[in-house]
């Protein structure tokens, strides 16, 4: 399988796990969030797409509607508590209920711990951390029962230089999930997904083929992820099929976290083929 072969995913038949439900997906105008919104809509959910860009939001809604789904766009800046409150009021006003929240909005700065400024700290924590708490808090007020999925990262467990405070926040999200699972249960389940390398414009848009093949080679799956990989996991965790799963953290990284040395897998495969 090549690094961007998604044929196995594309052949999946949408099911109706979410018929009659309403889902809010933050940061869903592009990338992983858009993939999650499309997957939930394909399975029957009425989806609220949200983000800062009205044009990008309209494009995601159009993609969902063209595929036979139902969605609306509500503009909201996750750094603005008033926008967050208004998002959930608009959701309930539009659809009359709320069943699923996917906290996905996220930003990062390429700063080291000794280089980051207070503005960097506030930018990341307000968007990636505080908003998750506020969204979950508002969602809980409107949920008789339901599910919340928080988007973390494999940076919660192992990281790289100069990506602080993003990595610290992602570790914090996993702790937040455990608290929410305890405090919101038994009516609302809360889980985390931790994606690794996922092919979106922000991560791979400027990569040449050599670099893409190099990244693929250090994953046991032989490829890096696509948004559909993460969306499938979210769709499971937020569904009734995961009814006995809460407070959990699922890593979706193609086995990357199982590898100790970057050069081990390519050399190992070459020796086995000899």
Q: What is the pLDDT of residues 188-238, one digit of tens each?
A: 999 999 999 898 777 666 777 888 888 888 889 999 899 999 999 999 999
Is residue 236 in a domain?
yes
Query: What per-residue confidence (pLDDT) applies to 93?
Result: 97
Contact 219, 197 (CB under 8 A): yes
pLDDT in tens, 139-189: 999 999 999 999 999 999 989 899 999 999 999 999 999 999 999 999 999
What's 252's domain CATH number? 3.40.50.720
Which residue did the predictor score with more confidence, 24 or 3? 24
Is residue 5 in a domain?
no
Is the pLDDT score of 239 beyond 90?
A: yes
Is residue 3 in a domain?
no
Query: What per-residue confidence (pLDDT) applies to 9?
Result: 43
Quote the CA–CA distance of 105 and 110 in Å, as a whole number: 17
Query: What per-residue confidence (pLDDT) applies to 268?
Result: 66
- Give residue 187's domain range: 14-273
Is the pLDDT score of 5 beyond 70?
A: no
Written in H, E and C, the secondary structure of the chain is CCCCCCHHHHCCCCCCCCCCCEEEECCCCCHHHHHHHHHHHHCCCEEEEEECCHHHHHHHHHHHHHCCCEEEEEECCCCCHHHHHHHHHHHHHHHCCCCEEEECCCCCCCCCCCCCCHHHHHHHHHHHHHHHHHHHHHHHHHCCCEEEEEECCHHHCCCCCCCCCHHHHHHHHHHHHHHHHHHHCCCEEEEEEEECCECCHHHHCCCCHHHHHHHHHCCCCCCCECHHHHHHHHHHHCCHHHCCCCCCEEEECCCHHHCCCCCHHHHHHHHHHC
Is the pLDDT score of 7 beyond 80?
A: no
When the pLDDT of each residue in the chain is averaged and rounded to a whole number, the result is 90
Please report which confidence band the pLDDT of residue 6 belongs to, taking 50, 70 and 90 as the band edges.
Answer: very low
- Determine what percent of the chain is predicted with pLDDT higher than 70: 89
Task: At 108, list the tokens.
Answer: 């990062």
Residue holding tokens 């099911």? 15
Give strand pairing partners of 70.
46
Is residue 200 in a domain?
yes
Counting the structural domains of the chain, the total is: 1
Query: What per-residue confidence (pLDDT) applies to 203?
Result: 66
Decide if 132 is catalytic. Answer: no
Quote the CA–CA distance of 76 and 72 in Å, as a whole number: 13
Query: What per-residue confidence (pLDDT) applies to 205?
Result: 62
Is residue 6 in a domain?
no
Write down the pTM of the prediction: 0.89
Is residue 127 in a domain?
yes
Active-site residue, selected from the candidate residues 18, 110, 132, 166: 166
Is residue 112 in a domain?
yes
Is residue 1 in a domain?
no
pLDDT in tens, 23-40: 999 999 999 999 999 999
Is the pLDDT score of 12 beyond 70?
A: no
């Amino acid at each position: 399988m090549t690094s961007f072969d998604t044929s196995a995913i594309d052949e999946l038949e949408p099911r109706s796990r979410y018929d009659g439900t309403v889902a809010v997906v933050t940061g869903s105008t592009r990338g992983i969030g858009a993939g999650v919104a499309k997957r939930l809509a394909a399975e029957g959910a009425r989806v609220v797409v949200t983000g800062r860009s009205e044009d990008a939001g309209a494009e995601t809604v159009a993609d969902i509607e063209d595929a036979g789904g139902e969605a609306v766009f509500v503009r909201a800046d996750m750094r603005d508590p008033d926008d967050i409150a208004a998002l959930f009021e608009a959701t309930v006003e539009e659809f009359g209920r709320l069943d699923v929240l996917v906290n996905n909005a996220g930003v990062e700065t390429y700063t080291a711990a000794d280089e980051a400024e207070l503005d960097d700290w506030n930018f990341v924590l307000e968007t990636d951390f505080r908003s998750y708490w506020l969204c979950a808090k508002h969602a809980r007020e409107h949920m008789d029962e339901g599910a919340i999925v928080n988007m973390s990262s494999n940076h919660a467990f192992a990281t790289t230089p100069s990506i602080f405070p993003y990595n610290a926040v992602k570790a914090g999200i996993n702790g937040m999930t455990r608290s929410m699972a305890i405090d919101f249960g038994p009516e609302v389940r809360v889980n985390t997904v931790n994606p690794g390398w996922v092919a979106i414009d922000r991560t791979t848009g400027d990569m040449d083929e050599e670099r893409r093949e190099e990244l693929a080679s250090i994953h046991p799956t032989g490829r890096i992820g696509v948004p559909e990989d993460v969306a499938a996991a979210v769709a499971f965790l937020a569904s009734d099929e995961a009814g006995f799963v809460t407070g959990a953290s699922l890593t979706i990284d193609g086995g990357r976290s199982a590898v100790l040395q970057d050069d081990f897998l390519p050399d190992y495969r070459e020796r086995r083929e000899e």
